[in-house]
Chain A
Amino acid sequence: MTDVTASASTGEELPRDAAGTASDGTTTGAEITLTNVTKRYPGSKTPAVDDVTMTIPAGKIVILVGPSGCGKTTTMRMINRLIEPTSGTIRIGGEDTQSLNPDRLRRKIGYAIQQAGLFPHFTVAQNIAVVPKLLGWDKKRIDDRVDELLDMVGLDVGTFRDRYPRQLSGGQQQRVGVARALAADPPVLLMDEPFGAVDPITRGNLQDELLRLQSELHKTIVFVTHDFDEAVKLGDKIAVLGEASKILQYDTPEAILATPADDTVAGFVGAGASLKQLTLLRVRDVELRQEAVTVDIDESPAAVREKLSRSHNPYALVLDRRRRPCRWVHARDLPRATSLATAGKPLRDVVSTQSTLQDALEAMLAEGGAVPVTGPQGQYAGTIHLETVIETIQTLREEHNGGDSTGADGGTQQEAR
Chain B
Amino acid sequence: MTTTLELSTESSSRRAERIRLLAQPAVVLILVAGVLVWAFSQDLDATDRETLNGPSLLQMLYEHMLITVLVSALVVVIAVPLGVLLTRPGWRRLAPLFIGIANIGQAAPALGVLVLFFLATGAEGGLWVVVLPLAFYSLLPVLRNTMVGLQEVDPALIDAGRGIGMSAGAVLARIELPLAVPMILAGLRTSLVLAVGTATFAAFVDAGGFGVLIDTGYKLNRLPVLLTGAVLAVALALMVDWLGAVAERYLGPKGLR
Contact = CB atoms under 8 A, between A and B. Distances in A.
A104 B256 contact: no
Contacts of A130: 161, 164, 166
A121 B165 contact: no
B254 to A, nearest CB: 6
B164 A181 contact: yes
A41 to B, nearest CB: 15
Contacts of B170: 134
B165 A106 contact: yes
B159 interface: yes
B257 to A, nearest CB: 9
B165 A131 contact: yes
A103 B165 contact: yes
Contacts of B159: 82, 113, 117
Contacts of A104: 165
B255 A166 contact: yes
A117 B255 contact: no
Interface residues of A, number: 30
Contact of A131 (B156, B162, B164): B164
From A107, A121, A165, name the one whose CB has the most chain B CB atoms within 10 angstroms.
A121
Contacts of B164: 106-107, 110-111, 130-131, 180-181
B163 interface: yes
A117 B160 CA distance: 6
Residue among B163, B174, B175, B254 with the highest chain A CB neighbour number at 10 A: B163
Interface string A164-183: 11100000000000001100
Contact of B156 (A107, A113, A166): A113
B71 to A, nearest CB: 29
Contacts of A121: 178-179, 253-256
Contacts of B163: 80, 82, 106, 111, 113, 117, 190
A108 B165 CA distance: 8
Nearest to B169: A103
B167 interface: yes
Contacts of B223: none
B166 A134 contact: yes
A88 interface: no
B235 to A, nearest CB: 35
Interface in A333-348: none
Given A114-B156, A164-B255, A119 B175 contact: yes
A39 to B, nearest CB: 17
B33 interface: no
Nearest to B155: A117
Nearest to A121: B253
A220 B39 CA distance: 80
B96 to A, nearest CB: 22
A274 interface: no
A176 B78 CA distance: 38
B157 interface: yes
Contacts of A164: 254-255
A345 B107 CA distance: 90
A119 to B, nearest CB: 6
Contacts of A117: 156-157, 159-160, 163
A121 B170 CA distance: 15
Contacts of A114: 156
Contacts of A131: 164-165
A122 interface: yes
Interface in B175-196: 175, 178-179
A111 B160 contact: yes
Interface in B205-257: 253-256
B127 to A, nearest CB: 38
A84 B156 CA distance: 18
A180 B161 CA distance: 11
A11 interface: no
A113 B163 CA distance: 9
B176 to A, nearest CB: 11
Interface centre among A103, A164, A180, A181 (most CB of B within 10 A): A103
A202 interface: no
A123 B256 CA distance: 11
A120 interface: yes
Given A117-B157, A119-B161, A120-B179, 15 more contacts: A80-B163, A103-B165, A106-B164, A110-B164, A113-B160, A114-B156, A117-B163, A119-B157, A119-B174, A120-B256, A121-B253, A121-B256, A130-B161, A131-B165, A166-B256
Q: What 4 A-B pairs have minimum CB-CB distances, sorted nearest first?
A: A117-B160, A107-B165, A164-B255, A121-B253
Interface of B: 156-157, 159-167, 170, 174-175, 178-179, 253-256
8 contacts: A82-B163, A106-B162, A106-B164, A117-B160, A121-B253, A123-B255, A130-B164, A190-B163
